[in-house]
A = this chain, B = another copy of it.
Amino acid sequence: MATLKDVAREAGLSVGTVSRVLNNRGYISDETRQSVNRAMKKLNYQPNEMARSLSKQRSSMIGVIVPSISHPYFSKLVESLESSAHHEEYEILLFVSQGRPDREEEYVRACISNRVAGLILCTGSVRTARLKNLGFPVVAYERLLNDADAGVECDNYEGGSLAAEELIRCGCRNLLCISGIGEVSMPADVRRDGFLETCARHEGISVRSFACSEESISDLKYKTQLQTCMDQNLGVDGVFASSDVIAAELLGVLRARGQRIPEDVKVIGYDDVFVSELTTPELTTIHQPVKEMAQTCIDIIRRAAAGEAYPARTVLRVNLVQRGSTRMLRGD
Select the stretch in A67-75, A145-153, A199-207 that faces chain B. Answer: A67-75
Chain B residue numbers with a CB within 8 Å of A86 are: 95-96, 103
Interface residues of A in 51-69 (CB under 8 A from B): 51, 53-54, 59, 61, 68-69
Known: A54-B54, A248-B278, A275-B275. A218 touches B79 (CB 8 A): yes
Q: How far is the CA of A115 from the CA of B59 in the complex (A)?
A: 13
CB closest chain-B residue, reference A83: B96
Chain B residue numbers with a CB within 8 Å of A70 are: 72, 75-76, 79, 273-274
Whether the Cβ atoms of A82 and B110 lie closer than 8 Å is no
Q: Which of B1, B113, B221, B248 contacts A48 (CB 8 A)?
A: B113
Chain B residue numbers with a CB within 8 Å of A252 are: 278, 280, 282
Q: Which of B51, B78, B110, B221 contacts A54 (CB 8 A)?
A: B51
Chain B residue numbers with a CB within 8 Å of A51 are: 54
Encode contact with B along A80-114: 1 for CB under 8 Å, 0 otherwise: 00110010000111111010000100000110111
Q: Which of B48, B91, B133, B251 contacts A280 (CB 8 A)?
A: B251
A308 within 8 A of B: no
Encode contact with B along A102-132: 1 for CB under 8 Å, 0 otherwise: 0100000110111100000000000000000
Whether the Cβ atoms of A91 and B110 lie closer than 8 Å is yes
Whether the Cβ atoms of A69 and B61 lie closer than 8 Å is no
A16 within 8 A of B: no
A47 within 8 A of B: yes
Whether the Cβ atoms of B94 and A78 lie closer than 8 Å is yes
Whether the Cβ atoms of B96 and A93 lie closer than 8 Å is no
Interface residues of A in 242-277 (CB under 8 A from B): 245, 248-249, 251-252, 255, 273-275, 277
| A77, chain B: closest CB distance, angstroms | 9
Binding site for B on A (CB under 8 A): 1, 46-51, 53-54, 59, 61, 68-72, 74-76, 78-79, 82-83, 86, 91-96, 98, 103, 109-110, 112-115, 133-135, 218, 220-221, 245, 248-249, 251-252, 255, 273-275, 277-280, 282
Q: In the complex, given contacts A46-B109, A49-B113, A50-B114, what are 5 additional A-B residue pairs having Cβ atoms less than 8 angstroms apart?
A: A50-B53, A54-B54, A70-B72, A75-B78, A249-B278
Q: List 24 A-B contacts (CB under 8 A).
A: A1-B112, A1-B133, A1-B135, A46-B109, A46-B112, A47-B113, A48-B54, A48-B113, A49-B114, A49-B115, A50-B59, A50-B114, A51-B54, A68-B79, A69-B82, A70-B79, A75-B75, A82-B96, A86-B103, A91-B110, A91-B114, A93-B94, A94-B94, A275-B278
